[in-house]
Amino acid sequence: MNSLADNLVGFVQILRQLGVRVSTAETIDAVDSLTVIEHFDRDEFRAALKSTLIKNAEDRAAFDQAFNLFFVPPESKQQQREAWDSKQQLDLEQSQQVQEELVFQGRPLDLPEELKDVYKRLPEQEKQRLQDFLEKTSTGANVKESFQPIVENLLKSSLSYHHRQLSPEDLAQLAAARRQLLGHHELDHVVESAAGLGGAGKNPLLHKNMQDIAEHEIPQVTALIKRLAHRLTTRISRRFRMTGRRKLIDIRQSIRRNMRYGGIMIALKYKTKKIHKPNIVVVCDVSASMTKYVRFTLPLLYGLSNVVKNIETFIFATDLEKVTDYFRRNDDFAQVSEKLVTSSTQIGQGTNLFIALTSLEQEYKQLLSPSTLLFIISDANTLAPLETASELSVISKKVKRILWLNTQPKERWSQNSAIPLFAKHSTMFECYSLAHLTKILSLNLTRHT
């Protein structure tokens, strides 16, 4: 990359890989902004790019990390190139080692790449145990080639177990290792290095798994959620309203207005996008498997209810329980949480989303309208998954959109056979941190994708 334009395009690609939303129009604005810099200055250059490419405060740290790694002197770029080549060589050697170790009678086992990555991260003692198992099962007078699928399934089960024991941070590193490369060593090195910094300089709560937040952090979590909830109150629809401000010409009204002038367009009428505030219904899982996230879900309900006026909130485990009135009082979060936990009959029970959705559809059908956004907050572990999917299908035809916030890391979704059934009738997002919630609420949630 030699020209400034090439570097700028590459930098935008890096930001996109890091999860920063940058449009083509914003990239053009960034190029145009450089024309106002008379004498090139690094600080002015950084400010110009940041002001045109970054829309959210949460993306500033990613921008700074990428900028500091990408826009460096030539000698530093050479060092980056050498470091990247060394890492690629190490990865290749590790992959070859896995191929050599995971074999049955000399033939490589057919395993998913993500499970091979899990194997790479195992302690040497556990690796040796699996190798010993493969050696014993490969030998013997009656061991045939047809036994290989059985051995593969046993090994998959073992590696899947280790996969489930990984922390969200480890899972994130595995996902980063499988990140689709841009195909350019310089860009790929910056992406990996910036992602590896783990959000340094950001509010640590943003990327913290919400099951691990402490009691003293809840007020800060609630404040952050309130700030994020404001984004739901200003969603833009495609409908228009009349305005005196000159934006988009209203052809119909302009023609009517100018009939008195013989059809000559003298007095124009204008229209602008109408602010549309959808009705919000939140159904939150508080069953036994979700109790570890109660310090995230209850502040989320509290924060949304304090900001969004047209909202109805429910919790469920074995059945549905309306909790809107708890959050409409002027009590602080500690009081609301204590009253809800002591009086609710649902918290910590088993999970039956089918019964909860059936109750919602039958007892609160007036809430399910074409202007309703239905949020479901759950790990998707429930009884009667087929019946639940069927009820989701019924409700999806009545509301504008169903948005599912799944507290399970996305890498574990493949282990839950119910998730594909539910995803047919909802838009499912990974959501176990405030960073996930920030990204979700930055989207146009009223528009189907």
In a domain, 82, yes or no: yes
**Identity (one letter) of the amino acid at 18?**
L
Residue 193 has pLDDT above 80, yes or no: no
Cβ–Cβ under 8 Å, residues 20 and 57: no
pLDDT band at 421 (very low <50, low <70, confident <90, very high): very high
Cβ–Cβ under 8 Å, residues 391 and 362: no
pLDDT reported for residue 367: 95
Structure tokens given for 74: 């030539």
Q: Tens digit of pLDDT for each residue in 73-118? A: 877 777 777 776 777 788 788 888 888 888 888 888 888 888 888 8
- Gap between the Cα atoms of 186 and 206, Å rounded: 28
**DSSP assignment letter at 383:** S
pLDDT band at 158 (very low <50, low <70, confident <90, very high): confident
Please give the residue range of the domain that contains residue 269: 238-275
Residue 199 has pLDDT above 50, yes or no: no
Q: Tens digit of pLDDT for each residue in 258-315? A: 777 766 777 777 776 655 567 899 999 999 989 888 888 888 888 888 877 789 999 9
The mean-pLDDT minimum among 46-60, 287-301, 434-448 falls in 434-448
In a domain, 140, yes or no: yes
In a domain, 5, yes or no: no
pLDDT band at 240 (very low <50, low <70, confident <90, very high): very low
**DSSP assignment letter at 197:** T
Number of domains, the chain: 3
Whether residues 265 and 335 fall in one domain: no
Whether residues 302 and 256 fall in one domain: no
Last residue of a domain, one of 149, 165, 181: 165
Whether residues 312 and 421 fall in one domain: yes
pLDDT band at 153 (very low <50, low <70, confident <90, very high): confident
Whether residues 307 and 322 fall in one domain: yes
Whether residues 416 and 333 fall in one domain: yes
Whether residues 266 and 392 fall in one domain: no
Measuring CA to CA, which residue among 370, 369, 314 is closest to residue 344? 314
Whether residues 357 and 295 fall in one domain: yes
Q: Tens digit of pLDDT for each residue in 396-416? A: 999 999 999 999 988 889 889
Q: For the domain that residue 309 is a member of, what is the CATH number? A: 3.40.50.410
pLDDT reported for residue 238: 44
Residue 272: φ, ψ to 5°? -135, 165
Per-residue H/E/C for 5-41: HHHHHHHHHHHHHCCCCCCHHHHHHHHHHHHHCCCCC
The mean-pLDDT minimum among 39-43, 132-136, 374-378, 395-399 falls in 39-43
Whether residues 255 and 296 fall in one domain: no
Which secondary structure element, helix H or strand E, spans residue 190, and what is its range? helix 185-196
In a domain, 43, yes or no: no
Residue 418 has pLDDT above 80, yes or no: yes
Structure tokens given for 253: 């009204």
Residue 143 has pLDDT above 50, yes or no: yes
pLDDT reported for residue 236: 40
* Strand pairing report for 270-275 and 320-322: unpaired
> DSSP 3-state assignment of 313?
strand
Long-range contacts of 98-103 (CB under 8 A, 24+ apart): 101/127, 101/131, 101/134, 102/130, 102/134, 102/155, 103/134, 103/138
pLDDT reported for residue 353: 96
CA angle 68, 69, 72 (to 5 degrees): 80
In a domain, 35, yes or no: no
Mean of pLDDT values over 423-430: 95
Percent of the chain whose pLDDT exceeds 90: 23
Whether residues 296 and 428 fall in one domain: yes
Last residue of a domain, one of 120, 147, 165: 165
Mean of pLDDT values over 28-57: 82
In a domain, 2, yes or no: no
pLDDT reported for residue 176: 59
Whether residues 349 and 251 fall in one domain: no
